[in-house]
Amino acid sequence: MTLKIAESSQNHLAVPARSGESLAGDIAGRMEEDILRGHLRPGHRLDERELSARYGVSRTPVREALQRLSASGLAMSRGRQGLQVAQLSVADLLDALSVVAELEALAAGQAARRITPAQRTRLTTAHAACATAIERADPDAFYDANIVFHDAVASASHNKVLQDELRRLSLKTAPYRRAITFQPARMTASQPEHAEVLDAILTNDPAAAADRMRRHLSMLSGGIADFLHFVRNSDHVGLFAD
C-alpha cells in the first residue's frame, strides 16, 4: 500500500504530459490521495472543470479518472448533481471499520514475522512522528503520521493482496477516521495503543501484534457514539449518507 506525498489542495502542480491512459491513472491516484488526506471529503461534488484546473490537465483524463473512481466505489452519481465523493451510512461505516480491523490485524501479525530492518526503521520513525504531533497539539500532522504508521505495518506484511484490499477500504473510511482524530484526547489515546502494536511487531510476536492491532481499531469503532456526537457539532456534519 504505497502512499504518495500529496501537495496541498490549493497548490497542485500541473501533471507532466504523458499517454492518456497513464495520465488518467495519475489523476485517479491524485484524487485518491486527496480523499485519503481529507482534501476531497464525502459528498464533495466532483466537477470536471474544477478538477481540470486543480490538477492542471484537460477534462478528458479527468473524465476517465472519474470513471475509475466510480468503478471502485469512491465516487457515486447523484443524478442531476453529477458525481460526488462517496458517502457511507453509519451502518456501512461500522461494517467497514470491522473489516479494516481484521485486515490490519492480519497485516500486523504477518509484519511481526516478515518485517525487514529498513521497515523497522520506517515504523519506528512514524511512531515518533505521531508523538511529535501530539506534543505540538497538531491533529493534521498526527493524521498524516498515523497514515504512514499503518501503511508501514501493511507494507511490512509483504502481502500485496492484503495491501490492495486495505488501500481500497482505507480510502473509503479515511475521511471518517480523520474526523475521529480531531476528537478531544483521541490522539493521546492512540499513541500507547500504537506503542503496543509496535513492540509486538519489533519483538516478532505475531499473535500479540494481531491482537493489539485489532483492539486498537476496535476501540476506534467502539467510540462511534462519541464520534457521532462530535460530528453533529462540527464542520464534519456532512460526512454521512442519509
Given 63, 85, 107, the domain boundary residue is 85
Instruction: Summarize the confidence of residues 30-41 as an average pLDDT.
Output: 87
pLDDT value of position 221 = 60
Whether residues 141 and 186 fall in one domain: yes
The more confidently predicted of residues 212 and 18 is 212
pTM of the predicted model, to two decimals? 0.76
Examine the pLDDT at 45 and tell me if it is beyond 50: yes
Examine the pLDDT at 194 and tell me if it is beyond 70: yes
User: Which helix (H) or strand (E) is 185 found in, with range?
Assistant: none
Whether residues 79 and 146 fall in one domain: no
Question: What domain range is 49 assigned to?
Answer: 20-85
Beta bridge partners of 76: 84
Number of domains in the chain: 2
C-alpha count within 13 angstroms, C-beta hemisphere, residue 203: 11
- Report pLDDT digits (tens) over 232-241: 555 555 566 6
The answer to whether the Cα torsion of 131, 168, 209, 189 is positive or negative is: positive
| 183/226 Cα distance (integer angstroms) | 9
Given 62, 85, 108, the domain boundary residue is 85
Instruction: Summarize the confidence of residues 44-55 as an average pLDDT.
Output: 93
